[in-house]
A and B are shown apart, each in its own frame.
Chain A
Amino acid sequence: MGGPAKVLVVHSPKDVTQVKRLLNDVERRLKELEQKWSRYKPDSLISLINARAGSGIATEVDAETYHLLEVCRKLWTESDGLFDPTAGVLRQVWDFQRGTLREPEKLPALLHCIGFDRVRVSSSTVQLEKPHAELDLGGVGKEYAADVAAAMLREAGYKNGLVELAGDIVALGHNPNRSPWQVGIRDPASPEQSHMTLEIENAAVATSGSYYRTIHQGDHQYSHLLDPRTGWPAEGPRSATVIAENCLIAGAVSTVACLKKTSEASEWLEESGLPWLLVSAEGALLGPLCQKSS
């Protein structure tokens, strides 16, 4: 799933060995999820499903993968197809490292491979009906993993801690100083600095957008999120940050927002009823979070 992982647990000194064991368990569990869902790992479950695209062979999946794909289906429906876990196939023509469109002539054929409606999911198997189709759990997989880590802390009896997986954050309780966790939201213009600090307790923050990987085409700067309908990077906001009860909801809502045009993104975020922040393509800050900040 990529990106650094950080797990903090607030505990008393006598719990040191216990917490070490817990953190080991968390690490093992996160690696297990990565082994299932990372498309960067050639031997992951997702890579196996992708390799079998169009072959007619169904791949056996565990209940957790099945249920996460059901969350994807819900999000795909709710976003009218804008969030599509099969859109990742478009990466074949877009070079995010260099920021260029490599083979424009391939685009129409790839667009044909996209469509979550052609992913056959049963409670024990997954099958991509179209040849060359690819499944990618970006926007939900890492966010779910952050919730898993937080749930493990909670289950082990630790009420205060922080989980951060490549920018997605779950805050449990308060920090060691008994005050809310301070979470920095990065400034898209200068990724090293955070342009806003949020104080959160028992909440999750997810940010989607073009912080790390962007594409420059002429004067345009595109996000690494690709619109499954056009095959081009979404021309929406640079980033969207959402706070929710759990990271999966926050990630799902913010990911879809980044695929929409800025005005439609605001509507979508407003409809969610959750606190949000949007950085428009021009760099303007929008949303209830920036109004509250000073």
Chain B
Amino acid sequence: MKTVVLNIALFMLPLWLHGCTAIEPVSAWERGYLADPAMQWDRGKREAKFAGHVYTSKEASSGGAGAAGGGCGCN
């Protein structure tokens, strides 16, 4: 089962890196939009933590947003 995942990962990575060749260079002074809070990966640290906890304790899956934390609070 492990091999399945590794194959996918190895397949996806070169594909993605290949895509990088089409990346437009963006200078420091052209990063105003990228710096907007709208471009953040999460909706705020505390919300991300709470939402992650809710989903993890109600669904079989976890992970994918950085390393896992501790605690249960399950049921």
Contact = CB atoms under 8 A, between A and B. Distances in A.
Q: Are any A and B Cβ atoms less than 8 Å apart in their complex?
A: yes
Specify which of B28, B29, B32 lies most central, judged by the most chain A CB atoms within 10 Å of its CB: B29
Chain A: interface secondary structure? helix
B33 interface: yes
Interface in A108-162: 148, 151-152, 155
Contacts, number: 16
Specify which of A29, A62, A63, A66 lies most central, judged by the most chain B CB atoms within 10 Å of its CB: A63
B32 A64 contact: yes
Interface residues of B, number: 5
A29 B32 contact: no
A148 B27 CA distance: 11
Interface residues of A, number: 10
Chain B: interface secondary structure? loop
A155 B28 contact: yes
Contacts of B33: 63
Interface string B19-35: 00000000111001100
A155 B32 contact: no
A100 B28 CA distance: 44
Interface string B27-59: 111001100000000000000000000000000
Can you list the 4 inter-chain pairs with the closest CB atoms, starting with the nearest? A63-B32, A155-B28, A151-B28, A148-B29
